Structure 1
Amino acid sequence: MSRAIPLIDCAGMSNERWLECRAHGPKGDIPYTVGGSDVATIFGLSPWTTPLELWLIKKGRMKTPQKSNPDQLMMGHLLEPIAAYWYAQKTGNTVYDDTCLYQHADHPYALANMDRRFTRAVDGAPGILECKSCTYHKAEDWADGAIPGYYELQLRFYMSFDPVTYGAFSCLWGNNPATDLAIPEIERDTVKEDIIFEKLDRWIWSLEHDKPPKMDEVAKPKLALEALAKIYGASQAGLPTIEFPAKFEHPLRRIALLQGKVAECKAEIDTYEKEIEAHSVRIAEIMKEHEHGILNTTTDKLLIDFITRTTRRPDSAKLKEKYPAAYADVLKTTQSRKVKVRVEPV
């Protein structure tokens, strides 16, 4: 089994220099590279980035977008040593730093920075540790030993660099390591590694031959649509009508059908809401200033709430009238595009 090729020690390296090394190697002689965080994106499984966006960035045709949550990312970086500490405490395994940037011996485009390495207490076997943190509402993704698929791909990618059998995560989401910590472990699977690198090889080929990836493999269609809107921008009036080939008939008809069903559901909801309002008039008359009511029956009880909810929001008409300059200054422009399909007889 091949060993990873050490390229450079990243300890104390500036972020700018680190990004340069990750993009093209420390000597700048690798045309295209793949890092651990890229793998899930290439598979269409990243919750944050699509394959086409990453491809355009690698080709230099799109700038890396500014992170919308830099403070959260910094917090995750600061929590890494804490996650590593509690992993060592919970498992008894010896954890140590590894600040080297590695190149894969069999796939030169593949580069890796591991969070930590560890030695298992039970048998002295080496392993790779990934330290993560998340918010409480994401903790369920780690329940009962589960691992988010996009993170598992990253760890298996790292495990392929060296002759290690084990990989592990230490994920924190609170301040109680007894309940707010997940430390799942995985074993090496060379079959999965072969699948990963078959995909990555094709990805590098697509960069070299200027063949951008399709977006229909993205696991989250909403993410793909948002990315396409960012990449291509606003629609332009006056451009010629696109003629679609016959293979698109089924999805187009399906869109038209489902859009019709959505319109029917909205109309039905509107009818129900009007009926609710009609029945509610007499109830509101009885409730007057009271917030709660009850009707007891022989089988159950009906609980009625009629509570005032106060919301405060700017009166845009008054703001525009009294402070037109301020109104113009705070206007937020948003753009959106939505596919709409109509079926017309020939």
Structure 2
Amino acid sequence: MSLALNYEPEVVVNIEPLTREEWLDYRRLGIGGSDVAAIMGISPFATIKDLYYDKIGVKPMIDEGESNWVAKEVGHRLEDLVAMIFSKKTGLEVFPVRKMFRHPFYPFMLADVDYFIRFPDGSIGILECKTCNYNAKDKWADDGIPENYVLQVRHYMAVMNIKKAYIACLYGNNENEFVYRSLERDEMEEQELIDQEEYFWNEYVEKKVEPPYNGKADLVLASIRRYKGFADKTIPEITISGLESRSLERFLMLAEEKSQLERRKKEIDAEQKALSVPFVELLGQGCKAVMEDGSSRYKITYNPTIRTQIGKEQMEKLKIQHPDIYEEYASTSESRTFRIKKEAA
């Protein structure tokens, strides 16, 4: 598809009066900009299989809620502020259009655009508003843009048939802690994006075929846990076939390497403690000291860490004597450890 092709996006729905659940139902009709990174395997939040399950309406067996809901809520509430700062810094007019759009030729491609920009020549651009914490500002260094945001905005440009976009991010509490970057439409990258989205929608969602997992291992393992459920030790041992044993051999080799490193770490810890003994003895109850040897000056601290916790015995007593309080504040979590023991066949 040539970018020179003249087309107008179609309006799916006016999102202003929708509840969040209604809006989510409309989003499940296609692929939104924030979904693209999961398809491409670079999302920091979800895998392609999480996205697939969401689109076909499969609920997780373990509902842990949204772990990053606060960050999402902050980002949503500060969109207007980010747009205001961008407008002030650039002199460009920005305005919202509270509608969900779709691509006329690829109806599975949806777009909820934060803001639009009106340039001095009358042309229209896209403004995507982001927030992040101060530690994440390095992702924007050297004119960089987090890749998941690039994919999101390229998706929007394709749906809206718009050639220029800006991504703005507020990472602090004043207008100087703010960056913005521009993106020009790229025909080759856009077509690759469309091809990947089309394949995901047609081959997986429409055919109800689960895609293979992609993305970071931590995300994949968390997803498996959510959708497979808690461990059940009553399930009989299964025989696994179709996978390569060399992966298990590699796991065992890494386990041995890790064990050696941990042993060395314990040796280092022990030596450091031994070296600290005479200094700690001189400090006594003190927490700070300084020592000079003529060429160097050393600042020494020996600060306490105060931790308050309820021991196992006290917890049992609380459970017996005040079960209502125990039930209100106790929480159950599960972690599972993957181990291999090699045996003769």
Match of 2:65, SS state, is coil
Alpha-carbon distance in 2 for matches of 1:282, 1:74 = 52
Q: Cα 1:7–1:322, aligned 2, differ >3 Å: closer, same or farther?
A: closer
Taking only the aligned residue pairs, the percentage that are identical comes to 25
1:296 Cα offset (Å): 2.9
The partner residue of 1:56 within 53, 58, 66 is 53
Q: Runs of 5+ in structure 2 lacking a partner?
A: none
1:13 aligns with 2:13: no
Contact 1:145 1:182 in 2 (8 A): no
Match of 2:244, SS state, is helix
1:312 aligns with 2:317: no
Matched letter for residue 114 of structure 1: V
1:257 aligns with 2:240: no
Contact 1:136 1:174 in 2 (8 A): yes
1:248 aligns with 2:247: no
Match of 2:128, SS state, is strand
1:181 Cα offset (Å): 1.2
2:137 matched residue in structure 1: 139
Matched letter for residue 20 of structure 2: N
1:161 matched residue in structure 2: 159
1:149 Cα offset (Å): 0.9
- The alignment covers a number of residue pairs equal to 333
1:231 aligns with 2:236: no
2:204 matched residue in structure 1: 206
The partner residue of 1:34 within 31, 56, 70 is 31
CA shift digits 1:11-70 (9 cap, x unpaired): 23332332232223xxxxxxxx11112111111222112111121122222258632344
Contact 2:28 2:54 in 1 (8 A): no
Matched letter for residue 341 of structure 1: I
CA shift digits 1:129-173 (9 cap, x unpaired): 111122222222223322111111111001002332101112112
Q: Runs of 5+ in structure 1 lacking a partner?
A: 25-32
TM (norm. structure 1) is: 0.87
The partner residue of 1:127 within 113, 116, 125 is 125
Alpha-carbon distance in 1 for matches of 2:286, 2:67 = 45
Q: Cα 1:67–1:320, aligned 2, differ >3 Å: closer, same or farther?
A: same
1:268 aligns with 2:267: no
2:172 matched residue in structure 1: 174
2:189 matched residue in structure 1: 192
Matched letter for residue 212 of structure 1: E
2:339 matched residue in structure 1: 340
1:115 matched residue in structure 2: 114
Match of 1:160, SS state, is helix
1:78 matched residue in structure 2: 77
Contact 1:229 1:336 in 2 (8 A): no
Alpha-carbon distance in 2 for matches of 1:70, 1:322 = 32
CA shift digits 1:187-241 (9 cap, x unpaired): 00111111111111111111222321112x21x2111111111111233334233
2:148 matched residue in structure 1: 150
Alpha-carbon distance in 2 for matches of 1:230, 1:256 = 27
1:313 Cα offset (Å): 2.2
RMSD: 2.3
Alpha-carbon distance in 2 for matches of 1:323, 1:231 = 31
Alpha-carbon distance in 2 for matches of 1:310, 1:283 = 21
Alpha-carbon distance in 2 for matches of 1:292, 1:66 = 44
Q: Cα 1:303–1:100, aligned 2, differ >3 Å: closer, same or farther?
A: closer
Q: Cα 1:278–1:89, aligned 2, differ >3 Å: closer, same or farther?
A: closer
Contact 2:288 2:299 in 1 (8 A): yes
Greater RCO, 1 or 2 (C-alpha within 8 Å, sep 6+): 2
Matched letter for residue 188 of structure 1: R
Matched letter for residue 187 of structure 1: E
Contact 1:53 1:62 in 2 (8 A): no
1:286 aligns with 2:282: yes
1:244 Cα offset (Å): 3.4
Contact 1:125 1:165 in 2 (8 A): no
